[in-house]
A = this chain, B = another copy of it.
């Protein structure tokens, strides 16, 4: 946010990331933009083939692209095997993050037994509970509430208004967006049927914690409950989008990414390198092996033991047409029986 301009020469970007340069190595860019909106001072990228037709008309100063796309391109190009990942690294050079001075805002409320590293930055209206330890270079944004017995590894960032209820241990460099709640009670209730009086719920105490590995990211308003007895666990490099619900005692393997509004019920185990689509659901007490993709809004009702892509649901249709087909679904079993009967008759 300062007046200082960030600028890079094409040759410097190529050298820094080991990319092949084509065109003008002295071309200077001061920002990043989409192919459609970039000007001569911007770095852009082409990764998704559906945007290839925007390349010819783009005014971008430098474009990161694959070798195949660079054929015949007359502007300045940086050739990369994976343009999207390369662009991610390059665009980070242009990011101007607000700086946060180390230290504790005078309004913050810190329990005397909490330990806060002097190199941590604690924002206004933050409260930190008993026996909690905050590592170096941690940033806790305004309005966050950190309860008792938590541990935040070095370099964690809680953007603002994050809640860690109790017994939440974060590895290094965990990034948590506003409104996320980690360590709330899992949904454990048991129906008590007293000899006298009506059956009613009693709460099963939730005594476990939440353990989050290094380099995880947790989206806005996402919730991760603490375990009933053992912990709820995210291994390292797990990436959760917004509004996701992770039930108690779930375990999510390293490098798994989950899109917004998905829900994972208690004690489910998800493997490594899985991709769970938006608003998908996973029922409790099942296992999903490594490298499974679940498409948006699908429901996983049993364990998955083979890597691959899985789906449920029906296609979208014009409503009147859908009604006719959906009505037939009500009698699909009967229809199948009728077909079988007819086949049998045909054979006789």
Chain A residues with CB under 8 Å of chain B are 1, 32-34, 37, 50, 82, 84-85, 87-89, 91-92, 94-95, 98, 105, 107, 109, 123-125, 127, 129-131, 141-143, 145, 147-149, 159-161, 163, 165-166, 175, 177-179, 181, 184-185, 187-193, 198-205, 207, 215, 217, 219-221, 223, 225, 229-230, 237, 239, 241-243, 245, 247, 255, 257, 259-261, 263, 265, 273, 278-279, 281, 283, 285, 293-302, 308-333, 335-336, 338-339, 342-343, 345-346
Contact = CB atoms under 8 A, between A and B. Distances in A.
A46 B35 CA distance: 54
Given A123-B127, A315-B312, A223 B243 contact: yes
Nearest to A242: B223
Contact of A129 (B98, B147, B148, B179): B98
A281 B297 contact: yes
A159, A285, A310 pick with most chain B CB within 10 angstroms:
A159
B336 A343 contact: no
Contact of A32 (B207, B297, B299): B207
Contacts of A145: 141-143, 160-161, 178
A83 B241 CA distance: 37
Contact of A178 (B165, B299, B342): B165
B327 A317 contact: no
Given A147-B160, A223-B221, A242-B223, A318 B310 contact: yes
B301 A315 contact: yes
B342 A346 contact: yes
A169 B37 CA distance: 20
A37 to B, nearest CB: 6
Given A159-B165, A179-B223, A328-B336, 4 more contacts: A88-B192, A91-B207, A98-B166, A147-B160
Contact of A192 (B33, B85, B327): B85
B143 A242 contact: no
Given A85-B190, A127-B123, A205-B92, A200 B237 contact: yes
A326 B338 contact: no
A84 B203 CA distance: 11
Nearest to A194: B85
Given A109-B142, A207-B32, A82 B190 contact: yes
A89, A149, A161, A346 pick with most chain B CB within 10 angstroms:
A161
A177 B166 contact: no
A194 to B, nearest CB: 10
B187 A178 contact: no
Nearest to A285: B50
Given A123-B127, A178-B145, A331 B325 contact: yes
